[in-house]
């Protein structure tokens, strides 16, 4: 739920902008690019927000998924669109502003500082899941198995922040390459299917994506990233409580516009999405799906948070790249 201070900030932003005569409002559908296969956490958060916007305004959104390069292919496309407000990217902050620069520098056609992160969307912890038939029940047991595997172990994810979390766990636990391998998928649906079917031993994915199958008994939750316990899953260990030096890696989604988008367009996005995220409908959806609305609802706050993220995560990403290249 939105904190009191954050809620006050959101209301002040929305109230200030709503008293202005906004110079721009969309007159045709807005194309939203998402760099992951359908069903990603960012898409779920975006659909919840835009459903409220479409319910209360005349704005309309068309979603196009372009999976690949941990969201980088989508940004390749969206960053070249006209800066007229009619295209955006639902961006994973960690992949776009950190990981693509380290791991995909030759394939991306933009630089992080060239993009325009106009407003925040939401966050969600990552879940580590396995089959209910697996005897491993928590992060401590998982780490012990990874350090002394008695069989080949496969770990699935969809790249990006999830891959960084996997790499950080492997590095901090001191796991040697060989019997433990990672498998990268284009979307969470295929990962979950393979875990349930026994083709993959473990997987990382946003908790919002995994929760329905956890609740249905199809997946077993053994751990969470981030700093906060989830009330509904009190027995799920936090990775940081077992491996204290693993940073609080979570899914963080924002809305990125093409560079040089006019201020009046940015004002519309800040105003419209602030109101939607503060609405009862979206707060209820986010609460039910283990998401938190963003604390950073303006371009200035977004840039400050992204710069802090880069300071924290770029060294870790570069370290992991070196370790991977040695394998």
According to the model, what pLDDT value does residue 182 have? 87
Q: What is the 3-state secondary structure (H, E, C) of 228-246?
A: CCCCCCCCCEEHHHHCCCC
Q: What is the pLDDT of residues 54-75, one digit of tens each?
A: 999 999 999 999 998 889 999 9
**4-124+251-323 to CATH, choices 3.40.190.150, 3.90.1010.20, 3.20.20.80, 3.40.50.2300:** 3.40.190.150
Phi-psi region of 11 (alpha: psi -120 to 50; beta: other; left: phi over 0): alpha
- Phi-psi domain of 248 (left: phi exceeds 0; alpha: psi -120 through 50; beta: other): beta
- Comparing 326 with 224, which gets the higher pLDDT? 224
Mode of pairing for the β-strands spanning 153-157 and 202-206: parallel
Per-residue confidence (pLDDT) for residue 4, from 0 to 100:
47
Instruction: Tell me what the pLDDT averaged over the chain comes to.
Output: 89
Range in 83-92, 94-103, 185-194 the model is least confident about: 185-194
Q: At 25, phi and psi to the nearest 5?
A: -145, 145
pLDDT band at 1 (very low <50, low <70, confident <90, very high): very low
Q: Is the pLDDT of residue 19 over 60?
A: no
Cβ proximity of 46 and 259 under 8 Å? no
* Delimiting residues of CATH 3.40.190.10 domain(s) in the chain: 125-248
Please name the residue that has the structure tokens 């106009």: 118
The whole-model pTM stands at 0.80
* Angle at the Cα of 64 from the Cα atoms of 61 and 70, rounded to 5 degrees: 125
- Whole-angstrom Cα distance, residue 217 to residue 129? 11
CATH of 125-248, one of 3.40.50.300, 3.40.190.10, 3.20.20.70, 3.40.50.720: 3.40.190.10
Q: What is the pLDDT of residue 7?
A: 47
Q: What is the pLDDT of residues 110-165, one digit of tens each?
A: 999 889 999 999 998 999 999 999 999 999 999 999 998 888 899 998 878 888 89
Among 10-14, 32-36, 121-125, 200-204, the range scoring the smallest mean pLDDT is 10-14
pLDDT for the residue numbered 304: 94
Q: What is the pLDDT of residue 22?
A: 55
- For residue 8, pLDDT over 80 is answered with no
**pLDDT on residue 39:** 84
Q: What phi, psi does 151 have (nearest 5°)?
A: -160, 170
Model confidence at 217: pLDDT above 90: yes
Q: Mean of the pLDDT values across residues 225-250?
A: 90
Among the listed ranges 117-121, 173-177, 314-318, which one has the minimum average pLDDT value? 173-177
Mean pLDDT of 208-221: 93
> CATH 3.40.190.150 occupies which residues in the chain?
4-124+251-323
- Dump pLDDT digits (tens) for 40-53: 889 999 999 999 99
- As a whole number of angstroms, the distance between CA 202 and CA 155 comes to 5
pLDDT value at residue 177: 63
Full 3-state SS string of the chain: CCCHHHHHHHHHHHHHHHCCCCCCCCCCCEEEEECCCCCCHHHHHHHHHHHHHHHHCCCCEEEEECCCHHHHHHHHHHCCCCCCCCEEEEEEHHHHHHHHHHHCCCCCCCCHHHCEEEEEEEEEEEEEEECCCCCCCCHHHHHHHHHCCCCCEEEEECCCHHHHHHHHHHHHHCCCCCCEEEEECCCHHHHHHHHHCCCCCEEEEEHHHHHHHHHCCCCEEEEECCCCCCCCCCCCEEHHHHCCCCCCCEEEEEEEECCCCCHHHHHHHHHHHHHHHHCHHHHHHHHHCCCEECCCCCHHHHHHHHHHHHHHHHHHHHHHHHHHHHC
């Amino acid at each position: 739920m939105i904190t009191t201070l954050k809620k006050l900030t959101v209301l002040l932003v929305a109230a200030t902008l709503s008293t202005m005569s906004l110079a721009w409002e969309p007159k045709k559908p807005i194309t939203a690019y998402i760099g992951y296969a359908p069903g990603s956490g960012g898409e779920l958060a975006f659909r919840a927000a835009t459903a409220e916007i479409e319910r209360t305004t005349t704005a309309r959104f068309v979603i196009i998924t372009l999976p690949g390069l941990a969201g980088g292919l989508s940004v390749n496309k969206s960053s070249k669109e006209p800066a007229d407000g009619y295209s955006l990217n639902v961006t994973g902050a960690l992949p776009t502003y950190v990981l693509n620069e380290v791991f995909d520098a030759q394939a991306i056609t933009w630089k992080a500082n060239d993009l325009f992160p106009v407003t925040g969307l939401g966050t969600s912890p990552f879940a580590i899941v396995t089959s209910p038939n697996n005897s491993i029940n928590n992060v401590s047991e998982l780490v012990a198995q990874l350090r002394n595997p008695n069989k080949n172990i496969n770990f699935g994810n969809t790249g990006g922040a999830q891959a960084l979390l996997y790499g950080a766990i492997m590095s901090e636990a001191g796991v040697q390459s060989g019997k433990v391998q990672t498998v990268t998928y284009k979307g969470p649906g295929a990962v979950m299917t393979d875990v349930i079917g026994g083709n993959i031993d473990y997987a990382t994915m946003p908790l919002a994506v995994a929760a329905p199958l956890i609740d249905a008994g199809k997946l077993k939750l053994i751990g969470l990233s981030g700093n906060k316990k989830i009330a509904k899953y009190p027995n799920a260990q936090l990775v940081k409580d077992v491996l204290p030096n693993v940073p609080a890696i979570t899914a963080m989604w924002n809305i990125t516009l093409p560079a040089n988008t006019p201020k009046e367009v940015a004002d519309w996005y800040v105003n419209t999405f602030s109101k939607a995220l503060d609405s009862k409908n979206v707060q209820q959806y986010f609460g039910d799906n283990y998401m938190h609305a963003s604390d950073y609802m303006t371009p200035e706050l977004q840039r400050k948070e992204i710069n802090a993220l880069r300071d924290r995560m770029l060294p870790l990403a570069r370290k992991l790249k070196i370790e991977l290249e040695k394998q």
